[in-house]
Structure 1
Amino acid sequence: MNASDLMTDEVETVHEDDDISDVLTRLARADFNGFPVVDDDDRVVGIVTQHDLVHIFQPSDRTLWIPVGFPPFLETLEYAIDLSWDDLDTELDLLKHAGKPVRTVMTEDVVTVGPDADFDRILDLLADDERDINRLPVVDEDGKLLGIVARQDVLRAVRDERRAKAESGL
């Protein structure tokens, strides 16, 4: 079994120049959590996931620390107020990023496989401890998208193989 046996060949993609707001809208309606990003020649140039898009609304440090105490301020308490999910702040972030192309937030170092990649190679990539890969774009020698293999496809294949073995008495 190889990538071409496992892949789905009807893949929803986004173009590297698509607006972030359009991609967010499409992703909100999708049954999955990311898109391969392609260029004008349908070559895979990146991948954009919910994780990539959420990060534009979660800046690293927007916590305001306020010392509170009474004169003569010998003892004070500090209260932290997280401003990162304030409605106005979120709307400002959306406005700031809405017209930008998705290539500004996509992951460029996308892991791909060829159509002849074997099952063990695919399994190793999807189970990698260092990267959290949920889907593998399948590309030809020129980097053009042929299909995609998701973790669910691999799990389904394992399940089907186990059932077939059980039914045959092996």
Structure 2
Amino acid sequence: MNARDLMVEDVKTVSPDDDVSDVFHKFARNPFSGFPVVDDDGVVIGVITESDLVDLFEPEEETLWIPIGLPPFVDTLTYQVKPPWGDLDLGIDLVRNADRPIAEVMTADPATVSPDDDVDEVLELLSGGDPDINRLPVVDDDGVLIGLIARQDVIRAFRDRRM
């Protein structure tokens, strides 16, 4: 079994120039948690996931530094701050990021496989040290997208072989 046997060929994609709001709508209309990002020639240049978009609304820094003493401060206290979702103003964050191109938010240079790669290579990437890899674009020698393998595609293929 190789990547060609596992992949689906009808792949929905986004462009690096698509803005965040367009991709939000695409997620709402499709049962996927991620899309390959392809350039005008169909070359895979990134992947955008729901969690990439969620990251736009979470504070990057959860540590609050409190200076102690008189200037120049000699020490600081550190507290972890984790605001509840209700405290974040998603409307303002959405407006602020709505026109941002996906190229600024996507994961660039994603892991990919070729159609002739063995299932062991696919399994290694999907179950390896990077827990964020849930889907693998299948590309030809020029990097052009020809299919996609999601974790559930691999599970289905093994289930079907056992029947």
TM class by smaller structure: 0.7 to 0.9
Write the mapping of 1:128-139 to structure 2, written as runs, cut at 5 A.
Answer: 128-139=128-139
Q: Partner residue of 2:42? A: 42
Q: Secondary structure at the match of 1:14?
A: coil
Q: Partner residue of 2:118? A: 118
Question: Residues 85, 46 of structure 1: CA spacing in aligned structure 2 closer, same or farther, 3 A cutoff?
Answer: farther
1:62–1:83 CA contact under 8 A, matched in 2:
no
Structure 2: gaps spanning 5 or more residues: 66-80
**Paired residues, what number?**
149
Give the structure-1-normalised TM-score: 0.80
The runs of at least 4 consecutive aligned structure 1 residues that moved more than 4 Å come to 62-65
Do structure 1's residue 96 and structure 2's residue 77 form an aligned pair?
no
Q: How far, CA to CA, are the matches of 2:91 and 2:64 in structure 1?
A: 19
The one-letter code sitting in structure 2 at the alignment partner of 1:117 is D
Question: Residues 7, 81 of structure 1: CA spacing in aligned structure 2 closer, same or farther, 3 A cutoff?
Answer: closer
Structure with greater Cα Rg: 1
CA deviation after TM superposition for structure 1 residue 30, in Å: 1.5
Do structure 1's residue 31 and structure 2's residue 31 form an aligned pair?
yes
Structure 1: gaps spanning 5 or more residues: 66-79, 164-170
Q: How far, CA to CA, are the matches of 1:142 and 1:118 in structure 2?
A: 19
Q: Partner residue of 1:161? A: 161
Q: How far, CA to CA, are the matches of 1:83 and 1:93 in structure 2?
A: 15
Identical amino acids, percent of aligned pairs: 53
User: For the aligned residues, what is the CA RMSD?
Assistant: 2.1
